[in-house]
Amino acid sequence: MSDQVLGKNKPGISIDPATVQAHQHARDLDVTTIWERHEAMQPICAFGDLGLCCTICYMGPCRIDPFSKADIRGACGAGRDTISARNFTRAVSAGVAAHSDHARGICHTLLETATGKAPAYQITDAKKLKRVAEELGLKRDSSVNDMATQVGHKLLEDFGKANGFLNFVKRAPKGQQERWERMGVVPRAIDREVVECLHRTHEGVDADYKSLILAAVRCALADGWGGSMMATDLQDILFGSPKPVRSKVNLGVLREDSVNVVVHGHEPVLSEMLAKASKESEILEYVRSRGAQGVLLAGICCTANEILMRQGMPVAGNFLQQELAITTGAVEAMVVDVQCVMPGLAQAAAHFHTKLISTSNKARIPGVDHVEFDEGKALDCARAILRTAADNFKRRDPAKVDIPPQSMDLVAGFTAENAFYHLGGTFRGTYRPLNDAIMAGRLRGVGGVVGCNTVKITHDYNHVEIVKELLKGDVLVVETGCAAIACAKAGFLTPEAALRYAGKGLREVCEAVGIPPVLHMGACVDNSRILIACTEMVKEGGIGDDISQLPVAAVAPEAMSEKAVAIGLYAVASGITTFYNPAPRVLGSPAVYDYLTKEIERDFGAKWVFEPDAHKIAQAVLTHLDAKRKALKLAPMLYQEELARTA
Amino acid sequence: MENHRKIIAMTKLCTGCRSCEIACAVAHSQTKSVFQALFETPLPRYSIEVQHYDGVNLPLACRHCEEPDCLFACKAGAISKDLETGQVQVDLSKCVGCWMCVMVCPFGAATADMERGKAVKCDLCREREEGPACVPSCPTKALVHGELNDIPK
């Protein structure tokens, strides 16, 4: 297929020179990576891509001709609307399942920690624990461990309780809660919503596309205001709430003279221990005895974001760079857990000395060493992994080593609690200055640029180009996940970036406070921080009575995973208009497409926008923010013309 | 005579996925992109169609016959055969939509496009430099644009 069909708007695999160099090195060594495999997969089946292929029952697969005007039906009588809505709902529920199972794991770790079964861990942020306990109506005067046990049990109930609704739904602004009640989509229990979506999409159950999408909405809300939010809060409680921290990013952080250990995946439970163990003198001695100068722990994907936010550990790269970390030839061990871990890593690792170590009992890869992670012996587990890596150092083949030189400075570690408080300074910790800056027209609004990389789009291109234009348009950008890593590599996560990229209003704000124009808020479960930040903006007042009125937007311009679809849907259902590309597999059904991009705004106050072109997305975001400003009758932008067009 | 290039299908390789139909429609769309073509009015048409009979999948398109019945039936003189290349083509500016070609084609390879009022049949992607779009779209390489002699026995 042509680049245009694939949504590639710039030729080449990546705009990141480190990625291009590492990929060339891999090719020189005859190592196949995702780009070659993707090429070999062409042509991609358009029925599947449009959501018109139904593999749900065993009478099919059935597929609907997208270019026929006839009312074509699959064997069971499901038409294009039912089929694509079912596919969409399944994608959402898989995404919700992934985030929420992550949260469940953290819940168990919290309980084990509180009951002394996981001695390596401790409750680090007792203040936040107290706040959550109070919110859940629990006794806050008990001991920290008692309180943690109660919080753990209470939140664990949210996965499968028989009655009532999720606890954190009450955190949302009134406007959102009312809309959810009216639409009948207040999430009940997390597992229940996932199960119900799977039930509804089973052969011969729910055939109404709208009813299916509303079920998907309820399921997605159980992620944003359930699983993801729980994961964020409990991780903050266990490992500490992030604080602004300096670090470095890109493949150039790997060191030729050190034992390089890369952690990849999503859960911080093991990587926190690896970070701890890597600083122990015993481990350092052991590493030196194996001929290396030290041990370097770096991350990929959201594990990277977790240990960057809390420990300041360097980031080796984002999703599309996972194999390239191995093909630098300088990685002794790559430790993986769950989500976004490509099975292709095993094939890449086979060409090098790199030991690929899987650690989650939920995620095994054939031909990979499995070290089952036991939370009770967490630190021993981490030490064993580091020793294995150190032993592997002498097997490194210098002829195969090529570490790209690029690495970039960054500041990360912002949260809903601290990010905007910086705007007020230490003595005036409120969202007031942020709201004031928006009302005065210094800031146009806030844009959340989030999400994955995809091999369908030139790596990092959309993230970087869009953010560049948003900054120029005085939009304060908050980021999570692989999007944050992409912008970190481009240098946007430094305070100096404000001087170079920001419009005058945004620059004034950044200079006054000393923050970067792009705030790194964490991993992809930490999109819940953005929901909380929006809620705080509503509470502070002056820029809207519910989230859907705020001059904010979400952008996921290189989306790849089912989790991203779930995030997109909970953002929209929470009132944040979401610019998303490549579109979820719904384009084959005009009805589903119309609902998601138009009618849904009537029900939830926000909609999806599916647009592949980076510049058009950026302009559309600015136009959208201006329309929101106009509706609120906010002051005109201080230094910039507002866009005449209305969204 | 037999050595003119046309779309040849190796039925044993065809899985019936209909990707060729989609590629054909996209190639004959305004935007040439599957996602955008869906929003065109009128919708683009395809002129290769996967037929299924007696356990055999057959992606069927115009055979560009030696003696095309459609050519003789066309009262508008819109259909011509190039003796050099063997291609049978419809001049859409002359086609009046009488559907005689549709009725006489023994393969059912010409169809009526009621929206545009023109006959639709395989034009071997005459405007596409890379040749017929259906061929590279086939995941099992069941389609060949070539002469009969090119086909492995």
The pair of three-digit structure tokens given for residue A602, joined into one six-digit string: 């009537």
In a domain, residue A534? The reply is yes
**Cβ–Cβ gap B32/A5 under 8 Å:** yes
Count of structural domains, chain A = 3
Is residue A116 located within the same domain as residue A195?
Answer: yes
Contacts of residue B43 in chain A, CB cutoff 8 Å?
Answer: 67, 69
Q: Check: CB of residue A517 under 8 Å from CB of residue A492.
A: yes
pLDDT band at B2 (very low <50, low <70, confident <90, very high): low
Distance CA B137, CA B151 (A): 18
Residues in A closer than 8 angstroms to B139, CB to CB, are 43, 45
Interface of B with A in 76-135 (CB under 8 A): none
Task: Report the candidate in A363, A145, A162 with the shortest Cα–Cα distance to residue A238.
Answer: A145
- Nearest to A494, CA basis, from A518, A477, A470, A471: A518
Determine, yes or no, domain membership for A567: yes
Cis amide bond preceding A582, omega within 30 = yes
- Which letter does DSSP use for residue A261 in this model? E
pLDDT tens per residue, range A239-283: 999 999 999 999 999 999 999 999 999 999 999 999 999 999 999
> Is the same domain home to A440 and A559?
yes
Are B36 and B68 in a shared domain? Answer: no
Q: Mark yes or no for CB contact A4/B136 under 8 Å.
A: no
Q: Please, are residues A315 and A485 in contact by the beta-carbon 8 Å criterion?
A: yes
Question: What pLDDT does A645 receive?
Answer: 40
Position A13 in a domain: no
Same domain, B51 and B93: no
Q: If you average pLDDT over residues A509-533, what whole number do you get?
A: 94
Q: Among B44, B137, B138, whose Cβ lies nearest the Cβ of A67?
A: B44
**How far apart are the C-alpha atoms of A461 and A302, rounded to whole Å?**
19
Looking at residues A371-389, what average pLDDT do you find? 94
State the Cα–Cα distance between residues A253 and A321, nearest whole angstrom: 13
In a domain, A542, yes or no: yes
Tell me: do A276 and A159 sit in the same domain.
no
- Closest Cβ opposite residue A43 in set B25, B35, B137: B137
Find the closest chain B residue to A582 by CA distance: B35
Question: Strand B143-146 relative to strand B6-9: parallel, antiparallel, unpaired?
Answer: antiparallel
How long is chain A?
647
Beta carbons of A307 and A271 less than 8 angstroms apart:
yes
CA proximity to B4, closest of B96, B84, B122, B117: B84
| A421 vs A426: CA distance, rounded Å | 8
User: Is residue A66 included in any domain, yes or no?
Assistant: no
pLDDT digits (tens, 9 = 90+) for A449-502: 999 999 999 999 999 999 999 999 999 999 999 999 999 999 999 999 999 999
What's the rounded Cα separation, in Å, for the pair A449 and A466? 9
Q: Give the tens place of pLDDT for each residue, A144-193.
A: 999 999 999 999 999 999 999 999 999 999 999 999 999 999 999 999 99
Question: What is the number of other CB atoms lying within 10 angstroms of the CB of residue B65?
Answer: 17
* Burial class of residue B85, CB neighbours in 10 A (0-12, 13-18, 19+): middle
Question: Would you call A43 and B139 a contact, using CB atoms and an 8 Å cutoff?
Answer: yes
Task: Reduce the secondary structure of A59-83 to three states and give it as a string.
Answer: CCCEECCCCCCCCCCCCCCCCHHHH
Percentage of chain A surpassing pLDDT 70? 96
> Of A179, A197, A230, which residue is a domain's last?
A230
Cα gap A84→A155, rounded to integer Å: 34
- B17: chain A residues, CB-CB within 8 Å: 45, 47
Co-location of A392 and A416 in the same domain: no
Smallest Cα distance from A196 to chain B, Å: 31
Report, as an integer, the average pLDDT of A87-96: 98
- Cβ of A43 within 8 Å of Cβ of B136? The answer is yes
- Do B72 and B111 have their domain in common? yes
Cα–Cα dist A187/A220, whole Å: 9
Q: Which of A150-154, A643-647, B106-110 has the lowest mean pLDDT?
A: A643-647
Q: Which range of residues forms the domain containing residue B91?
A: 64-121
- Indicate whether B17 and B49 sit together in one domain: yes
| Interface A:B, Cβ pairs < 8 A | 53
Cα→Cα distances A612→A87, A204, A447, B108, Å = 21, 34, 18, 38
Q: Do A210 and A86 meet the contact criterion of CB atoms below 8 Å apart?
A: no
CATH number of the domain enclosing A526 = 3.40.50.2030
Q: Are residues A488 and A558 in the same domain?
A: yes
Q: DSSP labels for A416-428? A: TTTTTHHHH-TT-
Inter-chain CB proximity A49 and B34 less than 8 Å: yes
Nearest to A564 by CA among A6, A83, A96: A96
Model confidence band, residue A141 (pLDDT cutoffs 50, 70, 90): confident
Q: What 3-state class would DSSP assign to B144?
A: strand
Q: Does A61 sit behind a cis peptide bond, omega within 30 degrees of 0 on the bond before it?
A: yes
pLDDT of residue B53: 83
Is A34 inside a domain boundary?
A: no
Report CB contact under 8 Å: A67, B32. no
Specify if A239 maps to a domain: no
- pLDDT digit string (tens) for B32-75? 998 889 899 999 999 999 988 888 889 999 999 999 999 999 99
State the pLDDT confidence band at A57, using cuts at 50, 70 and 90.
Answer: very high
Q: Are residues B85 and B30 in the same domain?
A: no
Judged by CB atoms closer than 8 Å, whether chains meet at A45 and B26 is answered as: no
| Residue where the block lists tokens 């010409």 | B110
Residue type at position A236: D
Q: Rounded to a whole number, what is the distance in Å from the CA of A619 to chain B's nearest CA?
A: 20
Residue A8 has pLDDT above 80, yes or no: no
Tell me the mean pLDDT in the region A135-144: 88
Q: Do B110 and B141 fall into the same domain?
A: no
Inter-residue contact A78 to A207 (CB < 8 Å): yes
By Cβ distance, the residue of B19, B23, B35 closest to A587 is B35
pLDDT at B139: 83
C-alpha distance from B48 to closest chain A C-alpha (Å): 13
DSSP string, B37-93: HTT-SSPP----EEEEETTEEEEE-----SS-HHHHH-TT--EEE-TTT--EEE-TT
A112 and A210, same domain (yes or no) = yes
The CA radius of gyration of chain B, in Å to the nearest whole number, is 15
Q: Give the SS3 label for residue B27.
A: helix
Confidence of residue A423 (pLDDT cuts 50, 70, 90): low
Q: CB neighbours of B6 closer than 8 A, spacing ≥ 6?
A: B62, B63, B64, B86, B124, B145
Whether residue B75 sits in one domain with residue B37:
no
Interface contact B27, partner A, CB < 8 A: no
Nearest CA in chain A to B25: A67
> A540-550, pLDDT tens digit by residue?
999 999 999 99
Mean pLDDT of A350-371: 94
Please check whether residues B3 and B29 belong to one and the same domain. Answer: yes
- Over residues A11-24, the pLDDT tens digits come to 689 999 999 999 99
Number of H helices, E strands in chain A: 27, 16
- The residues, ordered by sequence, that sit 6+ positions from A68 with a Cβ below 8 Å of its Cβ are none
Buried b (16+ CB within 10 A) or exposed e, A496-520: ebbeebbbebbbbbbeebebbbbbb
Same domain, yes or no: A587 and A461: yes
Question: Are both B68 and B109 inside the same structural domain?
Answer: yes
Q: Given this model, what pLDDT does residue B35 score?
A: 86
Q: Rounded distance, CA A18 to CA A348, Å?
A: 18
Degrees to nearest 5, angle at CA B94 with B92 and B100 = 85
CB contact under 8 Å between A45 and B46, yes or no, is no
Q: Dump pLDDT digits (tens) for A307-325.
A: 999 999 999 999 999 999 9
**Res A90 pLDDT > 90:** yes
Q: Do B89 and B138 reside in the same domain of the chain?
A: no
Q: How many CA atoms lie within 13 A of B113 on its CB side?
A: 19
Q: Looking at residue A145, which CATH number applies to its domain? A: 1.20.1270.30
CATH number of the domain at B107, please.
3.30.70.20
Alpha-carbon dihedral angle through residues A569, A574, A578, A584, given to the nearest 10 degrees: 10
Q: Which domain holds residue A125?
A: 80-230
- Is A110:A152 a contact under the CB 8 Å cutoff? yes
- Alpha carbons A612 and A454: distance in angstroms, whole number: 12
Residue with tokens 């999570």: A480
* pLDDT band at residue A429 under the 50/70/90 scheme: low
What does the pLDDT average to over A389-403?
A: 97
- Whether residues B9 and B79 share a domain: the answer is no
| A511 has pLDDT over 80 | yes
3-state SS class at A48: helix
Chain A residue with minimum CA distance to B50 = A65
Tell me how many domains chain B contains. 2
Q: Which helix (H) or strand (E) holds A296?
A: strand A295-300
Q: Which of B 38-67 lie inside 8 A of A, CB atoms?
A: 38, 43-46
Average pLDDT over chain A reads 93
**Residue B59 β-bridge partners:** B50
Residue with tokens 């936010």: A309
Facing residue for A67 by CB, picked from B25, B32, B138? B25
| Rg, C-alpha atoms of chain A | 24
DSSP calls for A315-378: EEE-GGGHHHHHHTS--SEEEE-SSS--THHHHHHTTSSPEEEE--TT---TT-EE----GGGH
Is A380 in the same domain as A285?
yes
Q: Looking at the domain assignment, is residue A611 inside a domain?
A: yes
Residue A636, both tokens? 């005109």
B111 and B140 part of one domain? no
Residue A436 sits in the same domain as residue A530: yes
A191 and A143: one domain?
yes
